[in-house]
Amino acid sequence: MIDRVSTGLPKLDAMLGGGLLPGTLTCVYGATGIGKTHLGLTFAEHGRVADGARGIVLDMNGRGDSQQHDEYAARLFRWPLKAWTHTVTPMSEPYPPAGELDAFYSNALRWVGRVRDFQVPTPDGSFEFDWNWKATYGHALYTVRPFVYFHLAAGTRRVVVDGVEPMDAPADSIQVFMFNELYRTMIHRDAETLGMEICLPVWKHREFIDAHRYDHTRVTTLLLVTTEETRLEDLLARKVATGDVGATANTILALGSERVGSRLARLLCVVKHRGSAMSDGIVEYKITPTGIEM
């Protein structure tokens, strides 16, 4: 029996052969307003039931709460989506203050645009990141790294990353660059190493680190990517461009719209689901006051 991670939507779990595979990356593609954030919050909230801890939500959109995370979470799940503010600079006290672990939302990574927008030319004709930007970005990581680590140490096993804007070439996107860094150096970093990088000096915090080890290979990530394509047919015909995270993701979900008679229907399909049976059907869903209905 293969372990499964429920999305919180029984019909979608059935399409996925029982749910997502633990420890994998799922990319959800769709235009703005199609329901990606509803799906992401449902997945994060269901962690409270399935894992004993809600998932964390990292909003990479520089426009603040443009995705309406607060309103959706409160209306759908009576979940006050509090923003994480705890920052851990080197050699400072690492542990979050009382109540901070109730903060499951962060929007500290607010940069949108092309990688080149944050780089400067070098004498040899190549490019490197501007030092001022590197310093600002590094400071933001002092907030994001403890946000990820302390929640995973407390039992969270779901990570939702939202707010990725459309880009002709994903490899040019600063958001894709930051996500790849986040995934490689935080989400899928072993607990002991990440803990030692944050809790300095290590000898002083060794007991905490050892007592809060977790299996990073069981952390399941949902990446929500906004596309220019709105029709499901156009999404399915979309070519995989250089740097597209979906090329290496375990699972891909496509959310799009199509005209059905005199109305516009929202449709979902599973494009890829490695290592498991999957449905090849296209299912209609609706966004209602109580969330996604399929």
CB atoms within 10 A of CB 134: 12
DSSP strands (E only) in the chain: 25-30, 56-59, 105-106, 119-121, 127-129, 158-164, 220-226, 251-260, 263-273, 282-288, 291-293
Higher pLDDT: 279 or 241? It is: 279
Q: How high is the pLDDT of residue 66?
A: 54
Is residue 64 left, alpha or beta, with left meaning phi > 0 and alpha meaning psi from -120 to 50? left
Average pLDDT over residues 176-186: 97
Distance between CA atoms of 227 and 216, rounded to whole angstroms? 29
pTM comes to 0.96
CATH label, 10-293, candidates 3.40.50.300, 3.30.420.10, 1.10.1370.30, 3.40.250.10: 3.40.50.300
Q: How high is the pLDDT of residue 273?
A: 97
Q: How high is the pLDDT of residue 2?
A: 67
Closest to 256 measured CA to CA, from 234, 225, 232, 238 = 232
The domain ranges of the chain are 10-293
Q: How high is the pLDDT of residue 61?
A: 82
User: pLDDT at residue 65 above 70?
Assistant: no
Distance between CA atoms of 104 and 72, rounded to whole angstroms? 14
Going by DSSP bridges, is the β-strand pair 105-106/282-288 parallel, antiparallel, or unpaired? unpaired
Q: How high is the pLDDT of residue 3?
A: 87
Q: How high is the pLDDT of residue 67?
A: 63
Q: How high is the pLDDT of residue 63?
A: 58
Q: What is the pLDDT of residues 228-261, one digit of tens each?
A: 999 999 999 988 887 899 999 999 999 999 999 9
Average pLDDT over residues 144-163: 97
